[in-house]
Structure 1
């Protein structure tokens, strides 16, 4: 067995922020390094920067299984770290550690943020391809995190959201009473780790204790091209119960605190084959009744409110 001449391959990115993320218009830069254990002829070293989305899922029984998939590429470009520079088209690399800096400007564009879900993925990669004479090109793939930064200070995202709903509990022969709920969010856009304050006014005219509950739901949606087939996956990311409201209570004001998980990925609504959306669901009812609910579609952003977006010159 021949010993591979290239060992300890590494890619180190120069961080632009505390989260080590990149966005449209940023320059991805850093160093790639590897060890050469013996003199080795190399034709070229090329880097490829790629962004794409992939989805795949199956339906039907084992006997009648159908597979659904789609791929969407956002960009793909390359550059050379080492090109052919001799008459033979080869460069002999001596033993030792070799470091090659790289610099790749990302295109400006409305590309979705990095995401890994149950049936699909949005990924951004830097691939280093080392080509040697009479050998297949050896490729080393490293992912980096891309964030689509939106302007979270837009007026329509900062406007309060409110909903009111009521119903009469019981059946025709045994009416328990009417319950009413008004729920309000202070805005529509939030960031991972933020606590959402849900302001509620309850009226419980029933003969039973009624309880409020709020939960955050992530909805992963996967599509084939032209959206001919789809898969919808709802995931509960957290819930919290409010204080019970006693029977025959005409009015009760309360606030429910619901914290968004710090690891929740941002909203993806700009990809034709993969979407990630969020809904806050506020429920109010008794144990014997499904009660009433108000739904608030929200947006998760990595750019906190009142934080200006970087200006690319």
Structure 2
């Protein structure tokens, strides 16, 4: 920055304790420019942009190829000082806002330029920084002077997606069963039934899974469970990505001939990236897996898609574990038996919906049924009347 410019900064006013913004919110703030001597300015403006970008390289040497793609959601610009020859001119894909204008000569001292933007009312993905791409919402200030380098500064907004009352499906439990016959190194059959308390979970919330195991085989087995994140990036007809295990645990043995019922609790990290399904070039998805570890054989497993939400999108938990889930006597060491005398969540299916297009799409967000290959939702079943009433009550709270 030039010696004559002591400070060029941009500041916005937080609107909540978490310092987040969402569609339709007002972003107000100020640009501070402090100069040590008189300067002449061609233009001074602040802009607010929302963009997604992905890029990666595959191969080496002559076979190396780069992939990239870009998506712009909006660009809003407010000029404080603009060259007279360019005033009133439209800018491509830009919404211009006009407020108070200032002269082209800035006197020595500190000067404050207020601005006010409104985020578009459209379906945009949340802020995200991933292994091969990002989604950013940025306030940028640019100061242009004759015969001088352009001075630039910026600050990043944390954009989140909020509940619009269409996410009733996230309250639905999910249930699945897997059975396995032992034919090698043993005999008999084992079965695993897993039921989640719901589908959508906030950052920092607990995922609770009710597990019923019947090991009527001659083999000992172990209960295993995991929560996996998958990031997928799309560009130029190709895709790339990575997955990370957020939780991966193995529990105690379930001996041969043993029946047991277990509650599995997993805490969603407070800083875990939320589900992203409404971006054309970036997807972030989660899979919950419960399985039985069987030596020298494939593991029977139940898999569920899970939607991770910001704290503003609270999904109340199901109030009780599956009914009739009295502990099989005796309970296993270090395993948590179900509390007696409480009713079960009825099995519920997933939803028939599609990935939302972008931008400006309407409909359900996030869409937990929009999973990539390898993410297998449980078979769907009809929603219960109880959950329909429950969801309506919840919608009235938002």
Q: Say whether the fold is shared (TM-score over 0.5).
A: yes
- Alignment partner for residue 147 of structure 1, among 156, 160, 164? 160
Secondary structure at the residue paired with 2:208? strand
Structure 2 equivalent of residue 269 of structure 1:
277
Mapped contact 2:230–2:242 kept (Cα < 8 A): yes
> Partner residue of 2:345?
none
Q: Which moved more, 1:91-100 or 1:13-22?
A: 91-100
Partner of 1:91: 104
Q: Give distance in 1, aligned partners of 2:51 and 2:113.
A: 26
Question: Aligned partners of 2:166, 2:315: CA distance in 1, in Å?
Answer: 6
Cα distance change on mapping 1:5 and 1:287 into 2, 3 Å: farther
The alpha carbon displacement at 1:190 in A equals 0.6
Counterpart residue number, 2:247: 238
Which residue number in structure 2 is paired with residue 22 of structure 1? 21
Equivalent positions of 1:209-228 (< 5 A) are: 209-225=220-236, 228=237
- Structure 1 stretch displaced more, 191-200 or 232-241: 232-241
Q: Does 1:286 align with 2:294?
A: yes
Q: Give 1:128-139 correspondences, 5 Å limit.
A: 128-139=141-152
Q: 1:259 to 1:75 in 2, by over 3 A?
A: same
CA distance in 2, matches of 1:191, 1:3: 46
TM-aligned CA deviation for residue 152 of structure 1: 6.8
Farther off after superposition, 184-193 or 8-17: 8-17
Given that residues 152 and 189 in structure 1 are in contact (C-alpha distance below 8 angstroms), is that contact kept between their aligned partners in structure 2? Answer: no
Contact 2:132 2:233 in 1 (8 A): yes
| Range 280-289 or range 301-310, more displaced | 301-310
TM-score, normalization: structure 1?
A: 0.89
Between the aligned partners of 2:9 and 2:188, the Cα distance in structure 1 is 68
Question: How far is 1:97 from its partner?
Answer: 2.2
SS class of match (1:38): coil
1:70-89 counterparts in 2 under 5 A?
70-83=69-82
Q: Alignment partner of 1:305: what SS?
A: coil
**3-state SS of paired residue (1:244):** strand
Determine whether 1:180 maps to 2:191.
yes
Q: How far, CA to CA, are the matches of 2:31 and 2:20 in structure 1?
A: 18
Report the Cα offset of residue 221 of structure 1: 0.6
Counterpart for residue 342 of structure 2: none
Moved >4 Å (runs of 4+): 306-311
Runs of at least 5 residues in structure 1 that lack an aligned partner in the other structure = none
> Which of 298, 303, 306 is matched with 2:306 structurally?
298
- Residue 17 of structure 1: CA displacement? 1.2
Change (3 A) 1:151 1:217: farther
C-alpha displacement at 1:61, in angstroms?
3.0
Shift of 1:170: 4.0
CA-to-partner distance for each residue in 1:73-116, whole Å, 9 max, x for gaps?
1111211133468xxx9522222222222111110100000101
Cα distance in 2 between the residues matched to 1:15 and 1:253: 47
Inter-CA distance 262–153: structure 2 relative to 1 (3 Å threshold): farther
Number of residue pairs matched by the alignment: 303
Q: Are 1:110 and 2:123 matched, yes or no?
A: yes
Partner-residue secondary structure (3-state), 1:242: strand
Q: 1:237 to 1:11 in 2, by over 3 A?
A: same
Answer yes or no: is the 8 Å Cα contact 2:170–2:199 preserved in 1.
yes
CA RMSD of aligned residues (A): 2.4
- Alpha-carbon distance in structure 2 between the residues aligned to 1:103 and 1:308: 31
Q: Please say which of residues 257-266 and 4-13 is displaced more in the overlay.
A: 4-13
Shift of 1:120: 0.6
Is 1:120–2:128 an aligned residue pair? no
CA deviations 1:171-204 (Å, max 9, x no partner) are 2xx4333111000111111111111001000011
